[in-house]
Amino acid sequence: TFPVMSLLSFLFFNFPVEITPPQGEISVGESKFFLCEVVGDAKEITWFAPSGEKILPGRQDISVSTAEDSVSSLTIYNANVDNAGIYKCVAKNGDKEAQATVTVKIFQKITFHNAPSPQEFNEGDDAIIVCNVTSSPPPAVFWKYKNKKIQMEKDVRFKVLSNNFLQIRGIKKTDEGDYTCEARIMIRGEIDLRVIKVIVNVLPSIRARQIEVNATANLKHSVMLACDADGYPEPIVTWARNNVIIESDEKYSLNEDGSELTIRDVTKVDEGDYRCIARNKAGEKEEEVSLNVFEQPKITYLENQTASELEEQIMFTCEATGDPTPTIIWSSGRRVFTEGEQASWTRPTKHKSLDGNVVVRSDARVSSLILKYVQFTDAGQYLCTARNSIGQDSKTMYLEVRYAPKIQGSVAVYTWEGNAANISCEVLAHPGASVVWFRDGQQLPSGNSSNVKIYNTPAVSFLEVLPESQSDFGSYNCTAANSIGSESKEFLLIQADVPSMPSIERVEPYSSTALVEFDEPDSSGGVPILKYKAEWRAMGQEWNTREYDAEDGLNMITIVGLKPETTYEVRMSAINGKGEGESSAPENFKTAPVREPNPPKLDGKLQPKGNSVKVYWFKQDDGGSPIKHYLVRYKAVSNEWRPEIRLPTYSEYVVLSGLEWDTEYEVYVVAENQQGKSQPSILSFKTTSEPTAIPESSTGLGTGAIVGILIVVFLLLLVGVDVTCYFLNKCGLLMCIAVNFCGKAGPGAKSKDMEEGKAAFTKDESKEPIVEVRTEDEHTPNHEGGGPTEPNETTPLTDPEHATDTAATVVDLLPSVTANSDPVTDTFSTAQNSPTSEMSTLTSSAADPKSTPETAPQTGSSKMAAASIPAAPASMEATLVDLSDTVATKAAEAPKAAPASNPHPITSEPLKASEATQGTGSCQIPPIPSSKDSQVDGGTIQTSETEHPKDTPTSNQEEYGTL
């Protein structure tokens, strides 16, 4: 159109009009201008709107301006749809006129009017994601989720509405994320988009850790109520009780997120329901937590009572509080009373009260104990115990019973003339009673009863009677009285008699001993039996006699020193304070032939160090032949046997040292005589755990202080030595001062030469050492509990046959001991396994055979003797002694080992088979009468012994050796 119009203008008016740009497209809201140029002279240029209206200057939306006579501009500001159309530019010059037009098109670009981000929805709701977009022409809208186009046909929950909004039915937390709203205008190729963040809020879920919480009141305890809440966004947790929100204060405290409520110093009023509330944008949820507050029982009422015997009825009342309601129990000593029942004296068995004297009635928190007929035995403490599932409370009350005296005590008392006896009158009374003694109606003591004395204690009155004649025996009266009443009782003083004879049940003979089992006498004569007397003899020989203390349960004795294959007879009698009773009928028996010895009896005691043990053995029957030696072997249970140890006949024990900690061990001991070896006896024990080392203290004395102390001690020692020299040897610094300044020679100076001469005489005459004798405690194994054991020489029964001479016996024994001891060191002649092996010690104590006959009965009590034995004259001759009857059968007896605190019990039993293997540890062996050193795995045997001169008696000597 424009070229045509310009051509016409040029042809008819001779001046063309041109609009630049020739056409225009304006987006809504944009501004644009057009220029109208006239070629030639033009007096006037005018613009006309699409409506044909002349556009005048001064309009806000459209502006017209002329810069020169030939150029005019049209400006459209903030274009809108109404500005669209054909605009015309007209130029005039006189009569001449020319014009040009331009078509203005107004269009709208893609515009997002309402597409907020983020957009929040509650989980489960039908969500509509808003995206309001406009354009001209209207745009095509597409939706994407996480940059991927949403396939509506695959997930029916998604739908694009007519207004281009996106609907999600039942939105889930998994639907949360970035959604893209994309608009397109195909004809222009225009595209724009908005990313909308979708947030899915989740309604809180709440769960209490405990629906019910239990607490105990009045214990200054705290209790915590807790609930856990989930949701999005994270919910805020609050607690409420009785519709009042709880805040942190002195009573309550909350943690950071409010999920834990702590209630301090719980009391009963804190009991109730607490609500845990969780809130977020999606809403709120709450859970109820119940707090149960229990109370420990507490006895609130219980009082002491006083009653008189045989009162009709007395009632004790005990009241208690607590939640749950407590059960109230009455008890007195070991007696427990429950409602309608009375407990027996041994818990927990219960039985109905036989006499119905005790009645218990309970009602809620109150219980009553009713005694229908009060007896004096009902006096004492009664315990009221209130108990529930939380705890218990107890209180005691005292029942005081007033009653008349009640006299107790043995009616008959036995004694004999010249032996004082006590008649005991035991009086039970409250209040206390006075006691009076009578004889034939006359109060004692009287003027003619000088042999009677009375001793009173709060509970017992003793009447001491020293019978001088038959008239002092008879009836004595004890009368007690108090404010309630009085009571009398007759006591009889009876002449005692000697006991009847015991009866021998059986005799079990061995080669050199015999076990005698007997029954007690039918009658003790009224007084206790003090001793039993045993007599035995070979046929046609004199009786041998020995007495035994009558211990409780003694019904078996062992007689020793018998000869093999010899017929003997034995009889027994009992002795009390009155005298000896009749002897039983003799019982004949014949000893067994010579054979191997019986196994020794073993006992053991762990030493304080913990990894050493002292093993004792007690000789049993020697089989009629002297014991030559003992063979000892030991091992850890998991290892092999150590080499065999041979010990002399007089050995009594061995100490095993340097053993492994916390390890089980076995020891066996075999006795051997000329006939052979006994069956082994085995002892099992376990060492203690290794003690923890105590670290040395870092706060000790300084070096200077230690040096000063040593100097002071040294000076004091010098002074002490000088004073000793002054008084004993008449020399030293004090002696010099006394002679030079005082002119005195010191005390005892006159007799110095005499003492020196005496010392020289003593030294020249006796070349032999003075031996200190130490014997182990004696044992009587057959008197120990646990049933009969085989007879042995440690079981006291009779005096042994007298040796011809004590000194001669010992002198003759020593060479034989030496001969038997030599193989001991040879047994241990093995090399040590390692230069770094620990040194272990082995010690044994042995007593030389005794030859002095025993004169006192043996009862198993321990004795320790120490004596210095002087040298015997050089001219004393040694005589041969039958070792089977003296030396070999009278070896020193070892003490019983019964450790009071032994964490690992030691057991002993016979060993069924001998084994010869090696183990670990070391032991202490008896002395060997020679000085030798030899090596053994685990230590060195160092035997040291003083050689005994042949003419020196060394009875009961104890020696030591070291391994």
Domain annotation covers residue 710: no
Q: Does residue 796 have a cis peptide bond before it, meaning omega lies within 30 degrees of 0?
A: no
pLDDT at 491: 94
Say if residue 151 is in the same domain as residue 192. yes
Please give the structure tokens belonging to residue 683. Answer: 């002892």
Q: CA 523, CA 414: separation in Å to the nearest integer? A: 13
pLDDT confidence tier of residue 551, bands split at 50, 70 and 90: confident
The 10s digit of each residue's pLDDT in 453-469 is 999 998 899 999 999 99
DSSP-based three-state secondary structure for 743: coil
The answer to whether 682 and 910 have CB atoms below 8 angstroms apart is yes
Q: Which of 899, 258, 860, 218 is nearest to 609 (CA)?
A: 899
Phi-psi region of 660 (alpha: psi -120 to 50; beta: other; left: phi over 0): beta
pLDDT at 376: 87
Residue after which a domain boundary falls, among 42, 72, 107: 107
Domain annotation covers residue 746: no
pLDDT at 366: 92
- Is a pLDDT exceeding 50 seen at residue 591? yes
The answer to whether 19 and 101 have CB atoms below 8 angstroms apart is yes
Question: For every residue of 903-922, which 3-state class applies, written as one string?
Answer: CCCCEEEECCCCCCCCCCCC
Q: Which of 228, 359, 329, 921 is nearest to 635 (CA)?
A: 921
pLDDT mean across residues, the chain: 75
Please give the structure tokens belonging to residue 300. Answer: 């609130």
pLDDT at 787: 39
Domain annotation covers residue 748: no
The answer to whether 557 and 507 have CB atoms below 8 angstroms apart is no
Q: CA 124, CA 133: separation in Å to the nearest integer? A: 27
Q: CA 519, CA 517: separation in Å to the nearest integer? A: 7
Contacts of 344 (CB under 8 A, 6+ apart): 335, 350, 351
- Is a pLDDT exceeding 60 seen at residue 75? yes
Domain hosting residue 277, numbered range:
209-295
Residue after which a domain boundary falls, among 495, 511, 534: 495
CB atoms closer than 10 angstroms to residue 297: 24
pLDDT confidence tier of residue 121, bands split at 50, 70 and 90: very high
Contacts of 729 (CB under 8 A, 6+ apart): none
The answer to whether 593 and 624 have CB atoms below 8 angstroms apart is yes
Instruction: Please report, for the domain that includes residue 7, its CATH number.
Output: 2.60.40.10
- Is a pLDDT exceeding 90 seen at residue 516? yes
Alpha-helical regions (H) of 788-833 = 806-827
Length of the chain: 963
- Is a pLDDT exceeding 50 seen at residue 447? yes
- Is a pLDDT exceeding 90 seen at residue 218? no
Share of the chain above pLDDT 90, in %: 39
Higher pLDDT, 902 or 456: 456
Domain annotation covers residue 723: no
Measure Cα distances from 555 to 164, 229, 517 in Å: 118, 83, 6
The answer to whether 926 and 818 have CB atoms below 8 angstroms apart is no
Q: CA 361, CA 337: separation in Å to the nearest integer? A: 10
Tell me how many degrees the CA angle 206-208-212 measures, rounded to the nearest 5: 150
pLDDT at 30: 86
Q: Which of 637, 683, 630 is nearest to 652 (CA)?
A: 630
Say if residue 116 is in the same domain as residue 224. no
Say if residue 288 is in the same domain as residue 330. no
pLDDT at 943: 34
The 10s digit of each residue's pLDDT in 758-784 is 333 333 433 333 223 333 333 333 333
Say if residue 264 is in the same domain as residue 380. no
The answer to whether 653 and 894 have CB atoms below 8 angstroms apart is yes
Say if residue 274 is in the same domain as residue 312. no
Q: CA 18, CA 71: separation in Å to the nearest integer? A: 10
DSSP-based three-state secondary structure for 760: helix
The answer to whether 43 and 69 have CB atoms below 8 angstroms apart is yes
For the ranges 175-189, 586-600, 915-929, 940-954, the lowest mean pLDDT is seen at 940-954
Say if residue 912 is in the same domain as residue 785. yes
pLDDT confidence tier of residue 742, bands split at 50, 70 and 90: low
Share of the chain above pLDDT 70, in %: 72
Contacts of 520 (CB under 8 A, 6+ apart): 502, 529, 555, 574
Domain annotation covers residue 707: no
Give mean pLDDT, residues 885-909.
39
Burial class (CB in 10 A: 0-12, 13-18, 19+), 647: buried
Q: Which of 524, 468, 529, 456 is nearest to 493 (CA)?
A: 468
CB atoms closer than 10 angstroms to residue 712: 10
Domain annotation covers residue 745: no
The 10s digit of each residue's pLDDT in 678-727 is 999 999 999 998 887 654 444 456 788 888 898 999 888 888 888 888 77
Q: Which of 538, 668, 579 is nearest to 615 (CA)?
A: 668
pLDDT at 669: 95
Say if residue 809 is in the same domain as residue 861. yes
pLDDT at 875: 34
pLDDT confidence tier of residue 913, bands split at 50, 70 and 90: very low
Say if residue 569 is in the same domain as residue 673. no
Q: Which amino acid is at 282?
A: A
Please give the structure tokens belonging to residue 365. Answer: 């928190």
pLDDT at 745: 53
Q: CA 686, CA 485: separation in Å to the nearest integer? A: 65
The answer to whether 797 and 811 have CB atoms below 8 angstroms apart is no
Contacts of 928 (CB under 8 A, 6+ apart): 648, 821, 822, 824, 825, 943, 945, 961
Say if residue 335 is in the same domain as residue 225. no
Q: Which residues pair with 576 in a beta bridge?
A: 529
CB atoms closer than 10 angstroms to residue 953: 21
- Is a pLDDT exceeding 70 seen at residue 885? no
The 10s digit of each residue's pLDDT in 386-432 is 998 888 999 999 999 999 999 988 899 999 999 999 999 999 999 99
Q: CA 922, CA 936: separation in Å to the nearest integer? A: 9
Domain annotation covers residue 740: no
Domain annotation covers residue 712: no
Q: Which of 21, 23, 76, 67 is nearest to 45 (CA)?
A: 67
**What is the enclosing helix (H) or strand (E) of 927?**
none
Residue after which a domain boundary falls, among 368, 401, 434: 401
**What is the enclosing helix (H) or strand (E) of 574?**
strand 567-576
Q: Are strands 412-415 and 486-495 parallel, antiparallel or unpaired?
A: parallel
pLDDT at 433: 92
CB atoms closer than 10 angstroms to residue 790: 18
Map tokens 């770094």 to a residue.
836
pLDDT at 946: 34
The answer to whether 197 and 178 have CB atoms below 8 angstroms apart is yes
Q: Are strands 392-408 and 305-308 parallel, antiparallel or unpaired?
A: parallel
The answer to whether 179 and 145 have CB atoms below 8 angstroms apart is yes
pLDDT at 15: 66
Q: CA 620, CA 791: separation in Å to the nearest integer? A: 6
Q: Does residue 204 have a cis peptide bond before it, meaning omega lies within 30 degrees of 0?
A: no
The 10s digit of each residue's pLDDT in 628-668 is 999 999 999 888 998 999 999 989 999 999 899 999 999 99
The 10s digit of each residue's pLDDT in 298-357 is 999 999 999 988 777 889 999 999 888 899 999 988 888 876 554 433 333 333 454 578
Q: Are strands 23-27 and 96-107 parallel, antiparallel or unpaired?
A: parallel
The 10s digit of each residue's pLDDT in 492-509 is 999 999 999 999 999 999
Q: CA 240, CA 254: separation in Å to the nearest integer? A: 12
Q: Are strands 341-343 and 350-351 parallel, antiparallel or unpaired?
A: antiparallel
pLDDT confidence tier of residue 448, bands split at 50, 70 and 90: low
Q: Does residue 21 have a cis peptide bond before it, meaning omega lies within 30 degrees of 0?
A: yes
Phi–psi pair at 853, nearest 5 degrees: -65, 145
pLDDT confidence tier of residue 261, bands split at 50, 70 and 90: very high
Number of folded domains in the chain? 7
Say if residue 658 is in the same domain as residue 797. yes
Say if residue 58 is in the same domain as residue 139. no
Measure Cα distances from 264 to 45, 221, 623 in Å: 96, 7, 83
Q: Which of 952, 945, 929, 946 is nearest to 811 (CA)?
A: 952
The 10s digit of each residue's pLDDT in 135-150 is 888 899 999 999 899 9
Say if residue 580 is in the same domain as residue 610. no
Q: Which amino acid is at 850?
A: K
